[in-house]
């Protein structure tokens, strides 16, 4: 078995793709609600972790499409789906979002997008990364306005869009979404521990204008580890359907 992450119902290999299975991706996939979702799209599928998490929870007859621009990621997702309990149940495409010709809307769209700017170019850590990993991490490959404009066009009237960005970009991303008539309906800030600032935020968007009172209590917070470096009860509760030891 190659390098990867073992979940309760499936194994996610990630030795052929630039971005490895991360805690943040597992939180995002666990936090997503699949209620009444019949047609889902995973944008930038990487290893296929989000597609597999959706497949485990969505109805058997539901449709899931996954796409990525990186050939290695597409190969990895195909392998992981084929080796899962649900082979041949995800439509996996090798193409950029701009060239993806959807024939219908989706009532669930998910994306763990590239979100670092080019500010890191020239730093030693940046230069040590492979071209594939740089492309997977930097949002010049999929700028927020391009992502949200596409989502606004192909999200159904009652659909939901979930994504994850650095916590520092919450206001920026919310403003970009508003320009295409998508409002923030829930947010979850991720902290490594109670003593650490939030490093990422999981976001849920829906169509239309947000009610005036909506932002009360947004975002909520998730602390991943306790002071003793053990996983918190809240983290275990959120991810229990997937983590092997929870």
Structural domain boundaries in the chain: 4-239
CA distances from 14 to 21, 39, 51 (A): 7, 25, 14
Q: What per-residue confidence (pLDDT) applies to 217?
A: 63
- Predicted confidence at residue 135, as pLDDT, reads 45
Q: Is 176 helix (H, G, I), strand (E, B) or coil?
A: helix
For the chain, how far is it from start to end, CA to CA, in angstroms? 22
**pLDDT < 50 stretches in the chain:** 117-138
Residue 220 CB: number of other CB atoms within 10 A? 11
Q: Is 83 within 8 Å of 49 (Cβ atoms)?
A: no
Q: pTM of this prediction?
A: 0.89
Is CATH 3.40.50.150 the right assignment for the domain spanning 4-239?
Answer: yes
């Amino acid at each position: 078995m190659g390098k990867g992450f073992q979940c309760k119902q499936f194994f996610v290999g990630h030795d052929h793709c630039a971005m490895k299975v991360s805690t943040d991706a597992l939180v995002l996939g666990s936090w997503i609600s699949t209620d009444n979702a019949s047609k889902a799209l995973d944008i930038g599928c990487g290893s296929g972790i989000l597609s597999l998490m959706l497949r485990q929870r969505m109805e058997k007859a539901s449709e899931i499409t996954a796409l990525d621009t990186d050939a290695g990621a597409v190969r990895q997702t195909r392998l992981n789906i084929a080796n899962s309990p649900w082979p041949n149940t995800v439509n996996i495409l090798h193409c950029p979002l701009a060239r993806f010709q959807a024939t219908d809307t989706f009532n669930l769209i998910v994306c763990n997008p590239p979100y670092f700017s080019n500010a890191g170019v020239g730093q030693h850590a940046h230069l040590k990364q492979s071209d594939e990993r740089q492309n997977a991490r930097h949002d010049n490959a999929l700028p927020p306005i391009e992502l949200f404009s596409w989502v606004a066009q192909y999200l159904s009237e009652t659909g939901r869009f979930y994504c994850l960005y650095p916590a520092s970009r919450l206001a920026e991303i919310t403003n970009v979404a508003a320009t295409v008539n998508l409002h923030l309906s829930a947010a979850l800030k991720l902290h490594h521990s109670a003593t650490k600032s939030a490093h990422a935020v999981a976001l849920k968007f829906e169509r239309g204008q947000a009610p005036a009172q909506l932002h009360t209590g947004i975002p909520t917070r998730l602390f991943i580890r306790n002071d003793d470096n053990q996983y918190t009860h809240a983290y275990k509760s959120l991810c229990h359907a997937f983590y092997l030891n929870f």
